[in-house]
Each structure stands twice: as C-alpha cells, then as structure tokens.
Amino acid sequence: MSLRINDEAPDFTANTTQGVIHFHEWIGNGWAILFSHPKDFTPVCTTELGYMAKLEPEFTKRNCKIIGLSVDPVDNHTRWVKDIEETQGYSVNYPMIADSDLLVAKLYNMLPADEAGTSEGRTAATNATVRSVFIIGPDKKIKLMLTYPMTTGRNFDEILRVLDSMQLTATHKVATPVNWKSGDDVIIVPSVSDEEAKGLFKEGWKTLKPYLRLVKQPR
C-alpha cells in the first residue's frame, strides 16, 4: 500500500544499535525523522550519516529525534560508525535500525521496483533501501516524504529547513514562500480574512495581491 502525507506512520518493532525499539513509543510526544540508506560501508552513505550526526543537536533543539535504517545487521552498523567518525569528524549517536528481514523497508516502500525480496547476498545496487526520508509529527502522522536515487546524496539542511517550516505553520496561520529560511517573512494563509489577520498580526502586513500577504515571521 502506498503511503501518503497525513497517513499514520506505520508502527513497528525493530532491532537497532541502541536496542529494540517500538517506533511510536520511541517517538513519544515529539517529532521524528526516519531515513534509510542503501548499504553500510559505502561512500555516499558515509557522508550522509556523518552529516546527520553533525546536525543532530539542531534537530534535538526542535524536539525532533532522528533514526537511520538499512538492511545491514547491527554489528555492521556498529563497525561502520567508526569509519563515519574517522572520515566525517562526527560520532553517530542516534540509533540505526537493522532491518534485515525488510519489515520496515516494505512498510515504508523503501525498496526499489526491482528489489529481490531478500537481504541475502545483496549489494548497494540490488535489493537495497533507497534514500528515503520521512518526517513524522507528534500525532504520528507522516508530514513529509522524500526519495533520492542511489547516487545522489541528500541535502539534510533542506530537511531541517522544512522541519522549521512545518513546526511554524502547525502553530500559526501562515505558509512559507519559496526558499524560505527561519526568520524570513511568511505568507498569511488565504483562509484568514483581513479582519481576522488584524487580530493575529498586529504589526500589519504587506499586500502584494489579495491572496498574497507577507508578514513578519511570528514568534
């Protein structure tokens, strides 16, 4: 079954580098990012997980946990993190799921169309979890889904930017424009009338079109 935004994120129990987790219970009352990579001990994945280790404090500030996944076993993950720290300069302190039975990969449609259905004897190009990213809200609903090809490393700064946008727009009646970054002006959503906006945005706003009203980012 295909997943869509606002579907409930499938729950699961899995073995990780930090022990067995029950996914919804592990998320708790905050946000979570579940991201998969094709294979341990491969070059692009090494740079990605190292960068996520660097960004983890920023996600923590935003009450957001991060967790990685591939179909490699826990002992491979554990040995690989030493390479990640050595080459990328950051220690992986977030858990990594060992999805050797492909349970989570299948639940979240993380396998390419030509996957073989078993992790035995696979390589980074065959039967591998693609570079998927899921952001999950405190309500356990999927808020974002991204999938990248095997050869293209992800931009995790963009994931952080999107998280800022979603957390802002979840609590204020605004949307964020193209290339928005935290602190930039935002857009008053069209469902808010000018009369209602006067009470919400007391410093006023700039009207470019009746449907395009720019206002300072609410705090």
Check if 64 is active-site.
no
Q: Domains in the chain and their CATH numbers?
A: 13-153 (3.40.30.10), 172-215 (3.30.1020.10)
Contact at 8 Å (CB) between 176 and 168? Answer: yes
- Smallest CA-to-CA distance from 135 within 169, 185, 180, 84 is with 169
Give the model confidence (pLDDT) of 23-71 as tens digits. Answer: 999 999 999 999 999 999 999 999 999 999 999 999 999 999 999 999 9
Query: What is the pLDDT, as a whole number, of residue 128?
Result: 67
| Higher-pLDDT residue of 65, 131 | 65
Which of the residues 32, 45, 92, 98 is marked catalytic?
Answer: 45
Find the farthest-apart pair of alpha carbons in the chain and give their distance in angstroms, rounded.
Answer: 64
The Cα-based distances of 174 to 20, 81, 201, 203 in angstroms read: 39, 40, 11, 15
Token output for 161: 């930017």
d(Cα 23, Cα 12) in Å, to the nearest integer?
6
pTM for this entry? 0.90
Q: How confident is the model at residue 1 (pLDDT cuts 50, 70, 90)?
A: low
